[in-house]
Amino acid sequence: MNITRENINDLNSIVTVKIEKNDYEATVAEQLKEYRKKANMPGFRPGKVPAGLIKKMYGKAILAEEVNKMLSENLSKFIVEEKLNILGEPLPNEEKTPSFDFETAQDFEFAFDIAVAPEVEVKFDKRKKYPYYLIQADDKMIDQQVDQYTSKFGANEAAETVEEKDTIRGNFVQLDAEGNELEDGIKAEQVVIAVDVMKDEEVKKEIIGKKAGDTIVFDPIKVYDNRHEVGHMLNISHEEAENVEGDFKFTLTEILRFKKAEVNEDLFKKAFGDDTEIKTEEEFRNKLKADLEEQLKYSSDYKFTIDSRDILIEKIEMELPEEFLKRWLKTTNNELTDQQIEDDFDNFMKDLRWQLIKDRIAKDNEIEIKQEDIQAMAKEVAAMQFRQYGMFDMPDEQLNAFGEQILQNKEEKQRITTRVQEDKIMAVIKENVSIDEKEISQEDFNKLLEK
């Protein structure tokens, strides 16, 4: 097999692959033998169909399959062996590929256009300042965190009279049209109701101020406007709930009022463990501030990545094979129109330039991605997910287990691997440039992201 490369310019080449009869003849013959062994045709014993008939029936398809297989494998091998850093994928050059018929042709020639990535040189300059925004946690953000903790560790307490935010417990009894209890009607005991979710304001007003032992009559379907919910509340089937109508008597048995936990040492231990050294509200708020600002570093790092990308893309000049890339985008994304490709091409080129810059930084600094790096990042992703639910001190064993579970998903693992590499690349950038740290509020930081 003969493979040659013709350089059109520094970025574009044509690779020609010539496949001759002696390259595929033995393999095709072996394939035909296998077909003959398995062939089962009327008038012939199994495995005894004439070879000529097998070749006539299957030869063209087998030849085409083998030639295409050899073409794909050897083209890929050539690119690897020649250490060609190509952009996109090889595209058929129809002008330089002769037409042929697998029925009659014995030798084949294929030509492909390829685009080679330009050589990129990344030089850092300590005189160039890269902004890094330190987002400050203000009192409002800290107050919200305090509220989350006091709510999380709060509890229901008995109350004398009903208020709008209370939860009440009581018994339902179905009534007839005259307001009497139905002997075989629906009854449900110790049903828990949140007053503020009632949709009928008149009933809500009537129930506020009631005490344990008091009764109130209402139609639950009208009050809740949800037969599915009423079915669960009355402990009846969905079919029964569809036919429920009329009033029920509700007798209050208990009034529960949620009380947030007090900000004291008991709360600090529940939040951070019995060994916590936090003793005062000031220390508690300082801890929350530090935790918040640590979490906000992810946003700071994201902005630093964006700013670094823009600085380096502007600084590092590189020529790219734009016409080839537009053609490749069109070939691999049939659903895109020429206008759509044109409209988004600048963003595509920006992403490509940034990727080439990152690749060069990774190569120059011999950045490696180890399994322990991926596992550590998966653990951090798990910790972040728990923090979203106010769970800041999960045991390492649980985080490790959850991280391993995340890595079972191939797409998640690839995302995490990419993130590990980018973090290592950004660490290199931070080491080699001057960082201009700027304290900023969350509000002002969000405005920066909107620009």
pLDDT of residue 100: 83
- Asked which of 248-262, 309-323, 363-377, 388-402 is least confident by mean pLDDT, the reply is 388-402
Tokens 């091409």 — which residue?
345
pLDDT of residue 392: 64
pLDDT band at 271 (very low <50, low <70, confident <90, very high): confident
Instruction: Tell me which residue of 327, 317, 326 sits closest to 348, measured CA to CA.
Output: 326
Contacts 24+ apart (CB under 8 A), 136-141: 136/293, 136/439, 136/440, 136/441, 136/442, 137/288, 137/289, 137/292, 137/293, 137/296, 137/442, 138/441, 138/442, 141/292, 141/442
**Mean pLDDT confidence for 56-76:** 89
pLDDT of residue 387: 73
pLDDT of residue 58: 79
pLDDT of residue 56: 82
Global pTM value:
0.76
pLDDT band at 301 (very low <50, low <70, confident <90, very high): very high
**Token pair listed for 65:** 């399959």
Instruction: Tell me which residue of 381, 388, 325 sits closest to 351, measured CA to CA.
Output: 325
- Cα 315 to Cα 125, 166, 309, 319: the distances in Å are 11, 62, 10, 13
**Mean pLDDT confidence for 444-450:** 92
DSSP state of 214: -
**Mean pLDDT confidence for 209-217:** 96
Answer yes or no: is pLDDT of 390 > 70: no
Average pLDDT across the chain, whole number: 92
pLDDT band at 41 (very low <50, low <70, confident <90, very high): confident
pLDDT tens track for 412-433: 999 999 999 999 999 999 999 9
**Mean pLDDT confidence for 355-381:** 94
**Mean pLDDT confidence for 31-59:** 79
What is the Cα–Cα distance from 325 to 167, expressed in whole angstroms? 63
Handedness of CA 278, 280, 286, 289 (dihedral sign): positive
pLDDT tens track for 330-367: 999 888 899 999 999 999 999 999 999 999 999 999 99
State the DSSP string of 356-379: HHHHHHHHHTT----HHHHHHHHH
**Mean pLDDT confidence for 251-260:** 96
Determine how β-strand 86-92 pairs with β-strand 108-116. antiparallel
**Mean pLDDT confidence for 228-248:** 92
